[in-house]
Amino acid sequence: MQGFSSIDYVALLFFVAAWFSYWVAVELTPAGKRGLNLLMNGYRHRWMEQMVVRENRIVDTTILASLQNGTAFFASTSLLAIGGVLALVQSTNTALTLFQDLPFGLATSPFAWEVKVLGLAVIFVYAFFKFAWSYRLFNYTAILVGAVPVLTGDNQAEAQVAASRAAGMNVVAGKHFNRGQRAFFFALAYLGWLVSAYVFMAATAAVLYVMWRRQFASDARQALLDEK
C-alpha cells in the first residue's frame, strides 16, 4: 500500500496480536481467573448477596448510579476523541510537518497519514460502542436490582435467584466497560504509529506490560488477595 513500509506492517501486526493475546489471556484462559477483573466479579456477586438482606437499598442504587456516571463519562470522552481524530484528518499537512520534526519522526505520505488516523478513529468508535452498551447494561442491572424482592422466610429461593440474575448482568456490564477502557489504553499505543513504526511497537509493548501488571501484579489485586 502506498506510503507504508514492511516495518509498518510488522508493527501493525504486533499491535493486533498484542491486543488479541491480552484479551485471550484475561478473558479465556485459566490464568485470567486470577486477574483483577475476575476477582472483582466475585465481589459483584457478593454485593448482590448482601443487597438481598437489606430492606433499605439506597446504598445499592447509589453505587449503581456511580457506575453509570463513570461509564457515561467515558462514552462522552470517546465521542470527543472521535471528533479530535477527524480534525486531524482535516489538517493533514500541518500534522505531517509537526510529527516529522519529532526526534523519532519519519517521513510519511498524506495517504498513509490519513489511513493511520482513520484507524485511530475506528478504535475510539469501538470504545464508544462498548461504553454505551455498558451504560445500558448498568441500567438493566438497576432494574433487576429493583426487581429483587425483600427477603422473607417464604421467598428466600426466589430472592437469591433474582439477586444472582442482577449480579450476572452487573458482571457483563463490567466486562464491556473493561473492554472499552482496554481500547483507550491501546489507542495510546496506536498514537506511536503517527510518529514512526518503531515508536508504535515500543508503545504497544509498554502498554501491554502496564496492563498485564495491573491485572496480575498490582497492589490493587494484592489488596483483594490479602483480604482472603
| 121's grid cell | 478513529
- Say whether 66 sits in a helix, a strand or coil: helix
Give 189-214 pLDDT, tens digit per residue: 999 998 889 999 999 999 999 999 99
Per-residue pLDDT band for 215 (boundaries 50, 70, 90) equals: very high
In this structure, the number of other CB atoms found within 10 A of the CB of residue 75 comes to 20
* pTM greater than 0.75 (yes/no): yes
DSSP collapsed to 3 states, 133-181: HHHHHHHHHHHHHHHCCCCCCCCHHHHHHHHHHHHHHHHHHHHHHHHHH
In angstroms, the Cα distances linking 23 to 19, 72, 204 are: 6, 23, 14
Locus of grid cell 485459566: 30
Per-residue pLDDT band for 217 (boundaries 50, 70, 90) equals: very high
